[in-house]
């Protein structure tokens, strides 16, 4: 049932704080432009990148566990092979959803997320899905 229109609708409607793992400083990269778009639509974006301090005007965290505020959805711009550990970290911080961006898929990450009660989307672009519903 993951990736259904209802799951995507629920995440986009109810999840307003997005931690973006792999958020980039470089405009023109999807890992920069998608979070910038979501931020422009009123979502709170929390960048996660071990090599930056400020992205999109926001303090950058080195890892999900460093974030001290509540996170609704973890949006992932990292290789599929890294996503199971990111899924486990998302569970640890009590995120409601895990979203693997377009081109990123991992069945183990899906299992971890769904077994932990999180909503799950993979291989979909959050910006495109939001724009489709606007």
Q: What is the mean pLDDT of the chain?
A: 96
Fold adopted by 5-133: Rossmann fold (3.40.50)
pLDDT digits (tens, 9 = 90+) for 70-89: 999 999 999 999 999 999 99
- Residue 134 banded pLDDT, cuts 50, 70, 90: confident
Residues present in the chain in total: 134
Between strands 73-76 and 58-59, the pairing is: unpaired
Residue 4, both tokens: 């259904």
Residue 1 pLDDT greater than 50, yes or no? no
pLDDT digits (tens, 9 = 90+) for 28-50: 999 999 999 999 999 999 999 99
Classify residue 57 as left (phi > 0), alpha (psi -120 to 50) or beta. Answer: left
Domain boundaries, the chain: 5-133
pLDDT at position 4 is: 86
- Residue 3 banded pLDDT, cuts 50, 70, 90: low
Indicate the pTM of the whole model.
Answer: 0.96
Backbone angles phi, psi at 74, to 5 degrees: -105, 115
């Amino acid at each position: 049932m993951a990736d259904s229109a209802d799951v995507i609708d629920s995440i986009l409607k109810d999840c307003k704080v997005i931690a973006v793992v792999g958020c980039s400083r470089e405009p023109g990269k999807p890992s920069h432009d998608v979070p910038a778009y979501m931020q422009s639509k009123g979502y709170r974006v929390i960048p996660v990148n071990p090599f930056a301090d400020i992205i999109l005007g926001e303090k950058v965290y080195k890892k999900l566990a460093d974030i001290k505020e509540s996170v609704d959805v973890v949006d992932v711009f990292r290789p599929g092979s890294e996503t199971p550990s990111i899924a486990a970290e998302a569970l640890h911080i009590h995120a409601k959803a895990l979203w693997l961006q377009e081109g990123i898929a991992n069945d183990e990450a899906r299992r971890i997320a769904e077994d932990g009660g999180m909503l799950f989307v993979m291989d979909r672009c959050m910006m495109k899905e939001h724009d489709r519903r606007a």
